[in-house]
Amino acid sequence: MSITITFRESVRYAISDAMEQDERVFLLGEDVGRYGGSFAVSMGLLEKFSSIRIIDTPLCESAFTGVGIGAAMNGMRPIVEIMTVNFSLLAMDQIVNNAATLLHMSGGQFGVPLVIRMVSGGGKQLAAQHSHSFENLYAHIPGLKVLTPASVQDAYDMVILALRDPDPVLIFENSLLYNSKGILDKTKTPLPIGRAKIEKEGKDITIISYGISVFKSLEASKILAQKGINAEVIDLRSLRPLDDETIINSIKKTHKVLIVDEGWKSGSISAEIMARINEQAFFELDAPMGRVCSKEVPFPYAHHLEQAALPQIEEIVALAEKIMEEL
């Protein structure tokens, strides 16, 4: 059965369904209980499952992430909610030095089936404190899996898949997606972790993106179509592991590529993708690769400056046209 709901509701349904199906699942984080979550994702779950399973924590990311790791090691299936991605830096020691390494360091004796959800991205005038896209930092770390849902369907599926995974999984939810609407079909077989999705078929240029940038890329593809350019749009969905096969197969078809990444250029996911394309498909390229990223500045508070710092549809179109002009 398919229903039309918001991205926010889809995540909430996933958490609720998982908790109903498995008593080991619980949610902890700042304001997830009585307040209903800083972005209203967990609204109503405290009344449904009680404070034993919907746990409001102190303002100490390192501590409650550590609690999640310990619970996961002892057979539970915790979901840790970190309010915004910048706060995850306060728990980075726990995530990188414990969650990601304990299976290896214990010789396979202790897995950490932990799910960490956090809000990322700019566009809500949260300034330089809360507007980051740090997905690339965690995608760098062996032992972690990094997911970036863009659709309502993936918002649901990725929580369910992450809770079934034996490894720690980080889910980055772009703040501007929460009010977006789409179709959820709970009976649909989800795409596995590590698989990208071709959102639009095309033959002239491949546009690779993730999260909210997928929708900007799709809008850009419509404008490009009016100019006679048929773009293929790929939603990466998973940043670790990356789906090299889907990326390379698309480039073998289009021979041109543009990457849209809300992170900063230096050390970004876009840079990693370009390196992999260079290693695996250099002779398939008919033009230099291009990318649209956020400007390398701390994010401004003023709306017009924030928009100038973020990747925009017009930039995607202009760069795609420039790449198409290359011979």
pLDDT tens digits, one per residue of 178-236: 999 999 999 999 999 999 999 999 999 999 999 999 999 999 999 999 999 999 999 99
Q: Does 327 have pLDDT greater than 80?
A: no
DSSP 300: P
What is the mean predicted confidence (pLDDT) over 234-262?
Answer: 98
Q: Does 265 have pLDDT greater than 90?
A: yes
Q: Which among 61, 81, 173, 232 is annotated as catalytic?
A: 61
What is the mean predicted confidence (pLDDT) over 18-32?
Answer: 97
Burial of residue 166, with CB atoms counted within 10 A of its CB: 0-12 exposed, 13-18 middle, 19 or more buried: exposed
Q: What is the pLDDT of residue 72?
A: 98
Q: Could you tell me which residues come within 8 angstroms of residue 23 by beta carbon, excluding any fewer than 6 positions away?
A: none
56: amino acid identity, one letter: D
- Flag the least confident range among 1-5, 61-65, 79-83: 1-5
Residue % of the chain over a pLDDT of 70: 100
Query: What phi and psi, each to the nearest 5 degrees, are found at residue 71?
Result: -65, -40
Enumerate the β-bridge partners of residue 250. none
What is the mean predicted confidence (pLDDT) over 92-99?
Answer: 98
Residue 304 falls in the annotated catalytic set: no
What is the mean predicted confidence (pLDDT) over 22-32?
Answer: 97
Q: What is the pLDDT of residue 100?
A: 98
**Model confidence band, residue 324 (pLDDT cutoffs 50, 70, 90):** very high
Q: Is 187 helix (H, G, I), strand (E, B) or coil?
A: coil
CA dist., res. 108 & res. 103, Å (int): 5
Residue 213 region, left (φ>0) first, then alpha (ψ -120 to 50), else beta?
alpha
**Model confidence band, residue 124 (pLDDT cutoffs 50, 70, 90):** confident
Residue 140 falls in the annotated catalytic set: no
Q: What is the pLDDT of residue 63?
A: 98
- Domains by residue range for the chain, with CATH: 2-185 (3.40.50.970), 197-325 (3.40.50.920)
Q: What is the pLDDT of residue 126?
A: 86
Note the pTM of the prediction, 2 decimals. 0.96
Enumerate the β-bridge partners of residue 185. 2
Q: Does 59 have pLDDT greater than 70?
A: yes
CA dist., res. 279 & res. 205, Å (int): 19
Residue % of the chain over a pLDDT of 90: 96
Q: Which among 9, 30, 81, 130 is annotated as catalytic?
A: 130
- 34 alpha-carbon distance from chain centroid: 26
Rg (CA), the chain: 20
Tens digit of each residue's pLDDT (9 = 90 or more) over 278-302? 999 999 999 999 999 999 999 999 9
- 171 alpha-carbon distance from chain centroid: 6
Number of helices (H), then strands (E), belonging to the chain: the values are 13, 14
Q: What is the pLDDT of residue 140?
A: 97
What is the mean predicted confidence (pLDDT) over 79-96?
Answer: 97
